[in-house]
Each structure stands twice: as structure tokens, then as C-alpha cells.
Structure 1
Amino acid sequence: MTEPQGVQAFHQLELDAGRFLIQRCMACAKHVYFPRESCPHCGSAALEWSAPAGTGTVYAVTTVRRKPAEGGDINVSLIDLDEGVRMMSRVDNLAPDTVKIGQRVKARVQVKDGRGLVLFDPLEGGAA
């Protein structure tokens, strides 16, 4: 069986190893996320991988209600990274309904059962 290939597979392998990377276009200098084969801004295929600062701001948030037996409520958030890309994730270490738009957060990779996932923790100081 061959290993998965392409930018999506590389990205997941890096997450599984505990590393969060995004792409940056060497032609237009804009950051790209979710990983792609070519830049959505200028069309260039000259994309490089880089570790983002990981800091960002909650752009939107919703609370998904779940039964306690299913793990309880969680938040689903859109996070604007300081590099200029938006991603979907969740903010941990807060009650789901206390996550607020404008709140500053910091990314971390959680590896569970060998699978990496980007989550965010609140930063002190609250909203931007």
C-alpha cells in the first residue's frame, strides 16, 4: 500500500507529527490555508511551507449542543490567523458558550490516536 501523496497528505502528516504549517506564495507573498497545489490569489505554483505564529482572532463562533454522553457541547469557530488566513477549528479550555467574537487565541496541535488536529487556546487579554 502506498502512502498518501500531495499537499493535503503532507499537511496531515505534519499535523500527526505535532507540527502546524501553512503555505506562503513566493510570487505574491500571501499566505494560503487550507493547503493547495497553487495560490488562490495569483495562480502561482510556487508555494512554500512555513510555521505560522499561531496567534489569531475569533471571527465567528457557534455552540454545537451535544448530549453529555457524546462529549457535551463544543464550539465551532472561524479563526483569522495573523498571517491573513481563516480556518475552522475550536477554542479549547473555555466553556463553549463563553468563546467570543474578537477574542485572541493561540494555535496548538493536539495529537490523539496518532491523528493531529489544530485547536486554539484563549490568550490573556481577551478581545483585540
Structure 2
Amino acid sequence: MSEVPRFWRESRHRYRLVGTRCENCNTLYFPPREICPVCRRESVGKMREEELSGEGEVYSFTVVRDGLEQFKMQVPYIMAMIRMKEGPLITGQIVDCSPEEVKIGSKVAATLRKVRVEGKDGIIQYGYKFVLKE
């Protein structure tokens, strides 16, 4: 059995939106970083974890109508850049709606969903996606 599912299960930011904030310049990053690219070595040991709310709005998006073979069953699907309430831009899929419902500025919330099924054992990997907020 692959170690990938174990890695995913034990990765804390996989099931929560956890970023890191630089205590020098107060910039919040997602995914987490060990060193701030602005402050560089001055940030070593000064990056603290911070959980994001999961709320944001659509900054940009595209509708994928001809996906890779493993995603053919999902087309059309929506990939978006989400500006989180706390500031970082996150790439993610918007689910449970039609492409016509999504607009720049639409409010969204993160949700935990199945990302893929691995191998003959059918081990499920989960991750975040986004849904439109009413």
C-alpha cells in the first residue's frame, strides 16, 4: 500500500486551511512557508501558523470543458483563484453549481471533498474545494 494516503492524512493543512504569518512583515501565506520571501533569513523562526476562515470571494475563474483523462467525468468544472478573507489567493475548484452561476466577486466557502481515489485499493484522498455562499 502506498504511503501517499498516510502523508495526506497526517498533513495538518490538508484538512484545514492553515497558512503561516510572518511576524516581521505580518504577511499571511498559503500554503504554509518556513521562510518569508520578503523578509528572508530575518523570518527564520518567526513564521507562525494561522488557520484561515475558509471564506473568500472569486478573484478569477475558468471553466474547464476538456479536461485530462482522469477528470473527463467532471467536465465542465470550474477552477478559480479565491481571494481569502484574510488576504491570500488560493487556487481551488468550485463545486455544486453550474458555470453560469459563478461570477467574479461571488462569495465562497471552503468545504472538504473527495479529491481522488488512489490505486486498486481505492484509497480516498480528501482536500478542500469551494462552494458558493448564498
TM-score (norm 1): 0.75
Maintained 8 Å contact 1:15/1:109? no
Deviation at 1:15, TM superposition (A): 4.4
What is the RMSD computed on CA atoms of the aligned residues? 2.8
Q: For 1:1-128, what aligned pairs fall within 5 Å after superposition?
A: 13-16=11-14, 18-43=15-40, 44-45=43-44, 46-66=46-66, 70-112=73-115, 113-124=123-134
| Greater radius of gyration (CA) | 2
Contact 2:17 2:53 in 1 (8 A): no
Tell me the matched-pair count. 117
Q: The residue matched to 1:91 in structure 2 has which SS?
A: strand
Cα drift, residue 107 of structure 1: 1.1
2:99 & 2:37 partners in 1: Cα distance?
32
Q: Which runs of 5+ in 2 are unaligned?
A: 116-122
Higher helix share: 2
CA contact (8 A) 2:109 2:133 kept: yes
Asked whether the equivalents of residues 19 and 33 of structure 2 are also in contact (C-alpha less than 8 Å), the reply is no
Tell me, in whole angstroms, the C-alpha distance in 2 between the residues paired with 1:69 and 1:24: 37
Shift in Å at residue 31 of structure 1? 0.6
1:55 partner letter = E
Matches of 1:35 and 1:120, distance apart in 2: 19
Unaligned runs of 5+ in 1: none
Paired residue type of 1:60: S
> For residues 29 and 52 of structure 1, what CA distance do their matches in structure 2 show?
15
Do the aligned partners of 1:58 and 1:102 also contact (CA within 8 Å) in 2? yes
What CA deviation, in whole Å up to 9, does each residue of 1:46-92 have, x standing for no partner? 11112111111100010000379532210110000011100110111
* Counterpart residue type for residue 107 of structure 2: R
